[in-house]
Amino acid sequence: MSALTTSIQFGLGGAWLAEHTLRSVGAGLAVFDQDARLAQADERAAELLCGPETPAGVRLDDPRFAAIHLDGAPLDGSTDPIRAALAVESSSVADVVGILTDEGETRWLAVTALPLPGLDGTTQAALVSLIEVTGIVRDRAAVDAAEHIGRSAFDHGATPMCIVDAAGGLVDWNRAFARRVDRPDFELMATSLDSWVENGSTISSAAVGSRPGEAVSTTWDGGQPVDVRAWSCDTNGSGRVMVEFVEEGALAPEPERMPVDIAAVIVDGCGRIATGNALLTDLLGSAIGSLRGNRLELFLDMPAEAFQRYVDGVRSSLEPRRFETRLFRLGGDDTKVEVEVMPSPATRSGDVIVTLVDIGRS
């Protein structure tokens, strides 16, 4: 856009300085009028707003953009940062907004809107800078995926594991632990480790003292021998400890007692594979570059509509969903997998995290 035009029209003598400063960081610049409609856009801003065909007069909350906030909430007139800037008159308003591209993908933009006064001192328009931050949001999604995968690894752990508080009370446990003590979850709540293992509280206390991770031999409440290891997992002063149990009175070598392999994939808002870990490529028998853009349900022995119902359920409830099905592997034998679909709070654009555990031999 022309800095001179902006200066004359809106009375902003330093417009050229703002324009060139923002361009140096890869920003697009646009001017939106009093009604929050696009009046002018430079080449970069037009590109970020879905191409040079973006029409003048369009608002950021136009249905063509399907704009959303980071928390997944739709952007509307009451939450539009450009309208907010036009209302406050004195300070800039910033937000991160996701818009839908022509390719059906979400492009994340850091939007900063600065009210522009006219010659009479009243706000006449908003100068808006647009910087693409899709990569940053995706990186946050990867961190979030790692956290979910860690939780899934705990749940699927081959050995019984639990987390206890400073008093030895059970806070959390995995499936193997619930199977070993043969009690439903509601009976495990509000019980202590001593209820299930001899000297359980003493063992867990040692983890925050001088013997973290050291194997201690004890017995289950029924008298069967078990070796126990405990580590502090305290991150906020809660005094919590993770406890792992290995049967037969002997610890298996480290590689043999690792949790089952967990393949993980991020499925984007359009239902396509966005990225995945190395275990996913091993499981499906193809490199991630070949998998990216394909629909995950093509590899699952279930109707696409059924898989979509699981995904939609997770997006609406933000609660994970789990099911079992068969998986078709490229160039290999089919196998049975346990699939867990989980929300991805870091992306909030409809993306979900899917983990697949090969249970074909179980």
CA 187, 201, 149, 257 torsion-angle sign: negative
Share of the chain above pLDDT 70, in %: 77
pLDDT given for residue 258 in this prediction: 37
Q: How far apart are CA 169 and CA 158, in angstroms?
A: 22
* Structure tokens given for 344: 């991805």
Mean pLDDT of 290-307: 86
The mean pLDDT value of the chain amounts to: 77
Length of the chain: 362
pLDDT given for residue 74 in this prediction: 84
Cβ-count burial of 53 within 10 angstroms (0-12 exposed, 13-18 middle, 19+ buried)?
Answer: exposed
pLDDT tens digits for range 38-67: 998 888 888 888 766 667 788 998 888 888
pLDDT given for residue 22 in this prediction: 52
Neighbours of 60 (CB within 10 A): 28
Partners of 32 in the β-ladder:
38, 126
Closest CA to 228 of 262, 177, 167: 177
- Outline where the chain has alpha helix (H): 3-10, 15-23, 43-48, 81-88, 134-155, 175-181, 185-188, 200-206, 278-284, 288-291, 304-317
pLDDT given for residue 32 in this prediction: 92
Q: Kindly report which listed range (89-93, 159-163, 172-176, 184-188) carries the lowest average pLDDT score.
A: 89-93
* Structure tokens given for 306: 């059924």
pLDDT tens digits for range 64-102: 888 888 777 788 888 899 999 888 766 778 888 988 887
Pairing of strands 28-33, 38-41: antiparallel
What SS3 class is residue 182?
coil
Compute CA distances 226 → 167, 215, 245, 246, whole Å: 22, 10, 6, 6
Residue 177 has pLDDT above 70, yes or no: yes
Residue 143 has pLDDT above 70, yes or no: no
41 in Cβ contact with 51 (< 8 Å): no
pLDDT given for residue 123 in this prediction: 85
Better-scored residue on pLDDT, 319 or 34:
34
Categorize the per-residue pLDDT at 10 as very low, low, confident or very high, splitting at 50, 70 and 90: very low
Better-scored residue on pLDDT, 28 or 235:
28
Residue 198 has pLDDT above 50, yes or no: yes
Q: Tell me which residue has tokens 């001593």.
A: 194
Mean pLDDT of 108-118: 88
Neighbours of 246 (CB within 10 A): 17
pLDDT given for residue 235 in this prediction: 56
Residue 305 has pLDDT above 70, yes or no: yes
pLDDT tens digits for range 229-263: 887 776 556 677 888 888 754 444 433 333 456 78
